Amino acid sequence: MGCMRYMSEAHLRGFERYKYSSIDTSFLSVYVMHPFWNYCVKFVPKWLAPNVLTFVGFLMTVVNFILIAYYDWGFEAANSETGNTVPAWVWTVAAINILIYYNLDGMDGKQARRTGTSGPLGELFDHGLDSYSAALIPIYLFSLFGTHDLPPIRMFFVIWNVFLNFYLTHVEKYNTGVMFLPWGYDFTMWGVSGMLFVATVFGPEMYRFSIYGFTVANMFEFVLIGSGMVSSHPIIARNIYLSYKNKTGKMRPMWEMLRPFFAFVWLFVITVVWSFFSRNDVINKEPRILWILYGTIFSNIACRLIVAQMSDTRCDAFNVLMWPLAATVGVCCFPYYQQVFDTDLTSDIERWILYGLTIFSTLAHWHYGYGVVSEMCDHFHIRCFKVRKSSSQSGSNITQPLLQNNNKIKPLKSH
């Protein structure tokens, strides 16, 4: 990586001390999926690195995004009076790819323990890619509803709800030291895949009906937002509270405990301003690119938080990628643009600014991910996509396959 380094000595020393700790209480995960993954992983050759499974699963979410975007770039395919114009087979492929991603995500940790390669790199690689998938997966479903039933401004809040659910789990671990695996993840993966399969069998038009003005899109928003508020957010708050009460967590001061929210809230505020006050209504003209931009910067914020909580270092309060974003939003939303510059900001110019910023942010995020993984591989003398015969990650703590908690055995997912 030359002179550009993302990991300090404090980060690397923290990773050397790191031990993975998680609790999974989801009955679907514990009693159905884990036994299934334990069976399936036996057929995976031991020479195959677990990070390969992780990366292939992530690529399935990328393939879905590209495939659906090709047929429905502007989320308008469902608006047609003759029915959704996306071919039926696309929904089938997307549903299968989601299940591949979900199951490989569950099997990679088990493969790591089979091959003796469990360590911090695998968990970081897994959760880092999951943060990107969190931005991609909800975008698939927008093509089922179209912009008539789910306008882009409501898509914006759906995506931010997904961001919040993902991020809170890692804020929780940053303060407690334990990954409490959320119930919603397993049900969400099956739910998304099921919705896509239903679109193949019965046609996506079934997602366009309404009863007394209450649409399926409204139900989708209600269930998604309500499930987080009921099954996730209060439980996370309680777990953090108990870690302070029982002195089992990191015991950070109040402002340090809240520090992970600073970058997250800054990003939310900046994106809200652009979405509502763009001079050329960019949210309705280029929603897909806008979601990719927001998702990429969110993923970078989440990855840096994951690095901080795993290495037990202080997390960032502001993300460097938000500087060009804030500057762009300032230009595109400046209320006196025409009076000051004697010409208005045209729609085409704002679009090109959006494209350029998305490309820059994506390349910067990829460079960050590649740099962090490379630096960890160099430090621990391992290779990301290769299993060594006498593999044990030098300096890392190999996790046990099971975690005892509350007199129950909880299988671990990550590696």
pLDDT at 396 over 60: no
Separation between Cα atoms, residue 51 and residue 222, nearest integer Å: 35
- Using one digit for the tens of pLDDT, what is the confidence trace for 89-140? 999 999 999 999 999 999 999 999 999 999 999 999 999 999 999 999 999 9
- pLDDT at res. 83: 78
Separation between Cα atoms, residue 248 and residue 177, nearest integer Å: 8
Domain locations in the chain? 19-386
- In the three-class reduction of DSSP (H, G, I as helix; E, B as strand; rest coil), residue 181 is classed as strand
pLDDT at 333 over 50: yes
pLDDT at 402 over 50: no
Question: Which tokens in the block code for residue 283?
Answer: 């949210």
Contact 133, 54 (CB under 8 A): no
- Residue 319: closest CA among 341, 284, 294: 294
So which residues are the catalytic ones?
127
Contact 100, 40 (CB under 8 A): no
Q: What is the rounded radius of gyration, in angstroms, for the C-alpha atoms of the chain?
A: 22
In this structure, what are the phi and psi dihedrals at residue 411, rounded to the nearest 5 degrees?
-65, 145
Separation between Cα atoms, residue 339 and residue 352, nearest integer Å: 22
- Using one digit for the tens of pLDDT, what is the confidence trace for 18-53? 998 888 888 999 999 999 999 999 999 999 999 999
- pLDDT at res. 81: 79
Separation between Cα atoms, residue 382 and residue 386, nearest integer Å: 8
Mean pLDDT of all residues in the chain? 90
**What is the dihedral angle through the alpha carbons of 349, 351, 357, 363, rounded to the nearest 10 degrees?**
-130
